[in-house]
Amino acid sequence: MPLSGPLRVGLFPTSGAIAENLQIGRSRVIDQITTHALGGETQLLAEDRHLGKSSVLLAMVNRALREPEDGRLVLSVDLRDGITSSRKLAQLLLTQASQQKAGLKIAALARRGALAHLGQPAREGLAKAADLFDLQDEAAAVEAITQALNLRDGATLDSALRALDARGHATNARTVIALDEAQELATWSDSNAVQHCLAATIKRVDSTVAFVFSGSEKHTLVALFETPEAPLHGLGIRRSLPPISRDDWLAGLRDRYAQAGIAIGVDTIHKILYYSQELPLPTMLICQHTLDWLEQDQVTMATVEQAVNDARRHPSWDLPA
């Protein structure tokens, strides 16, 4: 009987960033990126589409948030979600920071007279937020911080990053900023200024802010960091997603089918991987469609052939027939 609904999608997800427990063969690279980000190293993850880089970035963010260190901030922005300028990015970063308890330190710094670069209206709003936090009205404090940091003279990217860095020095805790689809920076009207601002933060010897840049337009993103005259040239460690090993695929897919009580042989999995060229999205598409052609709760070679024909009609299938 064909499987459908949440179980089908949960077994073999094919869209959006995928939770770490649903990823196959990525734990080592997630370990590596998370460890270096928490250690303060800026990294660049540039890959072609459909290889799982957004999923790896999501796993890194979630792991960093679970780490026990007090005061750490972990901020995550997809630059395709309506972020088209440095001011919008600045506002979003600081609003996200204000919604994490560790970020409320920004308000206390403003009340003490620090963060002069934010402008007087923003500092006054932050000082009010600090008073509210002292009164244990955390929800109102977060709202006050959000309003203060959205003031026009208080939301430049430079001021936002300096505020985050000042908070880091005051608390001896790092801020990790994950920017997905970072190639979009190249399309902004103030792109050059943004790149100089990011580069200045990265180059600062005692900076408490680290970035992980990720993007699926590989050549555009790489050009931002490897073009000799570019402000970001030479900054950050280049990361790549290694191919998922055959052993990881075999173990992962066997486990996934077993969760639904479906039998599948090793040779049948090899057949799926032959057609998918062991790439994540084509593999998941084929596996998802095998659920339409089950034979007595079993995936057979004939099941795979039918599933491949269906998968090839999917808009995201980009392998030759």
What CATH number does the domain containing 292 carry? 1.10.8
pLDDT value at position 131?
80
SS3 167: helix
11 & 46 share domain:
no
233 & 250 share domain:
no
Q: What is the pTM of this model?
A: 0.84
252 & 107 share domain:
no
87 & 116 share domain:
yes
For 149, residues 6+ apart whose C-beta sits below 8 A from its C-beta are 90, 91, 94, 95, 98, 122, 125, 126, 155, 160
Q: What is the pLDDT along the chain (321 residues), one digit of tens a residue?
A: 555 555 555 789 888 888 888 899 999 999 999 999 999 999 999 888 888 899 999 999 999 888 766 678 899 999 998 888 888 898 888 878 877 776 666 767 666 666 666 677 777 877 787 787 777 776 777 677 767 766 555 558 888 898 888 888 878 889 999 999 999 999 999 999 999 999 999 999 899 999 999 988 888 888 999 899 999 999 999 998 999 999 999 999 999 999 989 999 999 999 999 999 999 999 999 999 999 998 888 999 999 999 999 999 998 888 876
Going through the chain in order, the beta strands assigned E by DSSP cover: 43-46, 73-78, 175-180, 209-215, 237-239, 263-264, 298-299
Report yes or no on 120 lying in a domain. Answer: yes
Report yes or no on 43 lying in a domain. Answer: yes
Q: How far apart are CA 317 and CA 321, in angstroms?
A: 10
Region of 21 (left: φ > 0; alpha: ψ -120 to 50; beta: rest) is alpha
SS3 108: helix
pLDDT value at position 127?
79
Of 239, 271, 298, the residue at which a domain comes to its end is 239
Residue 7, CB half-sphere, CA atoms under 13 Å: how many? 12
Here the CATH number for the domain that contains residue 226 is: 3.40.50.300
Spell out the alpha helix ranges (H) of 204-317.
Answer: 218-226, 246-259, 266-276, 280-290, 301-311
pLDDT value at position 33?
95
Provide the number of structural domains found in the chain: 2
250 & 232 share domain:
no
221 & 259 share domain:
no
Of 188, 217, 239, the residue at which a domain comes to its end is 239
Q: Residue 12 is encoded by which pair of tokens?
A: 């073999």
Q: How far apart are CA 77 and CA 215, in angstroms?
A: 12
pLDDT value at position 285?
94
Q: Residue 239 is encoded by which pair of tokens?
A: 């990361």
Q: How far apart are CA 241 and CA 281, in angstroms?
A: 14
Report yes or no on 40 lying in a domain. Answer: yes
pLDDT value at position 155?
59
pLDDT value at position 252?
96
Of 195, 220, 239, the residue at which a domain comes to its end is 239
Domain that holds residue 258: 6-16+244-311
Report yes or no on 197 lying in a domain. Answer: yes
pLDDT value at position 112?
66
pLDDT value at position 290?
95
Q: How far apart are CA 282 and CA 280, in angstroms?
A: 6
91 & 209 share domain:
yes
**C-alpha to C-alpha distances, 71 to 57, 75, 173, nearest whole angstrom:** 21, 13, 5
SS3 258: helix
User: Which residues are paired to 212 by β-bridges?
Assistant: 43, 178
